[in-house]
Amino acid sequence: MTEVQLQEFKLDPDSELRFEVESKNEKVVLEVKSGYAELFGTELVKGKAYEFHTGAKVAVFTWHGCTVELRGRTEVSYVAKETPMVIYLNVHAALEQQRVAAEQEGTRGPVTMVVGPGDVGKSTLVRILLNYAVRMGRRPIYVDLDVGQGSISVPGTIGALLVERPASIEEGFSQQAPLVYHFGHKSPNDNLQLYNTIVSRLAEVITERIDSNKKASTSGVIINTCGWVKGPGYKVLTHAAQAFEVDVILVLDNERLYNELKRDMPKFVKVVYLPKSGGVVERTGGQRAEGRDARVREYFYGKRTPYYPHSFDVKFSDLNIYKVGAPSLPDSCMPLGMRASDALTRLVAVAPSPALAHRLLAVSFAAGPEDHVLHSNLAGFLCVTAVDTERQTMTVLSPQPRPLPNTVLLLSEMQYMDNH
């Protein structure tokens, strides 16, 4: 048993308290005692207890000074005076000017893409900028193209959300009605053709939606990306920039990437170099895998607010499972008029088998394989918890009660062991 530790920190203006919760099943409670503070752009309420669990890496920033109390065991906790927050605030102010201009001229607000290698604080900067925008009364669209971590839905997807209120301190942005597309892998490299196809599709749908929502249109879009920035990874970024017709690219902590984008982007795209925060913590492969697992667990069971998923059996014969991408053959072996790259976006029927145990299945809105499956967004996810070949059934975990909708199910590479 560890005794509960109590720590009090006095923060000067423009400084932040950084802490990490590392040990298993640990809980740390944060409370602002006096003054004003924010957490990645969300204001903290004075006297309210916020809980953080294993894996949390957090910064409490104050513009005006404050006193903060931490209860529980933190692995690391220190106050930093050097932060890039003033620079990030200036970026927000520049975007805000563009939103004001868009409002006056009846045009579209800024479309901003945040790029950089892994663990430089891309997701954090996106969260800060969205929070600042929504605190000014804007309604920006948040796009996450990071299939590796995926903060909008489960890993292996890309998605978008209309942000209507600041991120909750403990639960992030409200996940109401996200627009989600299936990819099924952890890295764009696993199927570049498919990745680019769904990125283009998501961009198309967002453009359509923005056209019918003036408030969202003037507020603009903020896009998070994968940390893969070299070779094909760079091409994926420039493709996304083109698809979303970005106006601003914020490059975190990578001069080479900054220079490449300056060289290759059309002149009207503003490419801005930003320093990363010294507080950003590098994650190991194991921590990333844990992060992915936690996202799936949250999808089914909730985070602070608990969800109660359903578990039931379905007959093999009632399932329409497909995966995207046939094994690729050289062009010379393909039927006339088909290219090898087409195979990568083809649907292939998958027979239910024990190999599907613990895999995620994306529930598509597409009714059949002949529907535009890759262009259809997702209704949600199932997790196969058991397969019984004798009875020809499988047990699934589902946010919705039975029956399953009679639509296409897309097999994901993501696995989840349900031991709740």
Q: Name the site residues for ligand ADP (rule: CB under 6 A).
A: 18, 57-59, 118-124, 227, 277, 279-281
Find out whether 41 is annotated in a ligand binding site: no
Residues near 221 by Cβ (< 8 Å), separated by ≥ 6? 109, 110, 111, 112, 140, 141, 142, 143, 206, 210, 244
Which residue's CB is nearer to ligand ADP, number 73 or number 358? Answer: 73
Tokens of 64: 């005006």
| Distance of closest approach, residue 129 Cβ to ligand ADP, in angstroms | 12
| Distance of closest approach, residue 280 Cβ to ligand ADP, in angstroms | 4
C-alpha–C-alpha distance, residues 355 and 344, integer Å: 21
| Distance of closest approach, residue 147 Cβ to ligand ADP, in angstroms | 13
Find out whether 211 is annotated in a ligand binding site: no
Find out whether 119 is annotated in a ligand binding site: yes
Instruction: Locate all alpha helices (DSSP H) within 29-183, ordered by sequence.
Output: 85-105, 122-135
Q: Which helix (H) or strand (E) holds 242?
A: helix 232-243
| Distance of closest approach, residue 60 Cβ to ligand ADP, in angstroms | 9
What phi and psi, each to the nearest 5 degrees, are found at residue 322? Answer: -135, 155
Which residue's CB is nearer to ligand ADP, number 119 or number 245? Answer: 119
- Nearest of 232, 277, 260, 263 to residue 86 by alpha carbon: 277
Q: Which residue has the closest beta carbon to ligand ADP?
A: 279
Find out whether 163 is annotated in a ligand binding site: no
Find out whether 124 is annotated in a ligand binding site: yes
Which residue's CB is nearer to ligand ADP, number 19 or number 195? Answer: 19
* Residue 280 CA to its chain's centroid (Å): 17
| Distance of closest approach, residue 277 Cβ to ligand ADP, in angstroms | 4
Which residue's CB is nearer to ligand ADP, number 18 or number 201? Answer: 18
Find out whether 123 is annotated in a ligand binding site: yes
Which residue's CB is nearer to ligand ADP, number 57 or number 108? Answer: 57
Residues near 378 by Cβ (< 8 Å), separated by ≥ 6? 153, 157, 180, 181, 182, 362, 363, 364, 365, 410
Tokens of 7: 């720590």
Longest dimension (CA), the chain: 72
Find out whether 120 is annotated in a ligand binding site: yes
Annotated binding site: 16, 57, 119-124
Annotated binding site for ATP: 16, 57, 119-124
